[in-house]
Amino acid sequence: MSSFTRRTSLFILQGLLACLVLTACYVPAPAPPSTYERAFNAVEGAMVDQGVRITEANRGSGIVTGVRGNITVTASVSPRADGRTQVAFRTKGDTSEDPTLINRITAAYNARMGR
């Protein structure tokens, strides 16, 4: 084998190895969170933003419960058949302590969802 052929073969082999190494370094981007996960995280965050202390957060059931003073706030996150997610907030207790709490939580949730 001539030195030209040997150098050409070595050059091709180095090129193939470089391609193999670069291919092995590929890391796919993580999958974005599901609509349900996004909504559940936004519910938790919105409640905390408004001073509600989370007492229970169950992703499996979609229920988040918290308290602020004498008001209990419960949120439910439910997947829908069309792929969207339904969120509902409700309060119990002495809502006269903070009559706009539910509205502020809803606004904070919408802001976290980019609405």
Quick: pLDDT tens for 8-34. 666 676 766 665 555 556 667 777 778
Cα 55 from chain centre? 20
Q: How far apart are CA 22 and CA 44, in angstroms?
A: 41
20 within domain boundaries:
no
66 within domain boundaries:
yes
Q: What is the pLDDT of residues 88-106, one digit of tens each?
A: 999 999 999 999 999 999 9
Print the domain residue range for 49: 35-112
27 within domain boundaries:
no
Structural domain count, the chain: 1
DSSP code at position 29: P
* pTM greater than the 0.75 cutoff: no
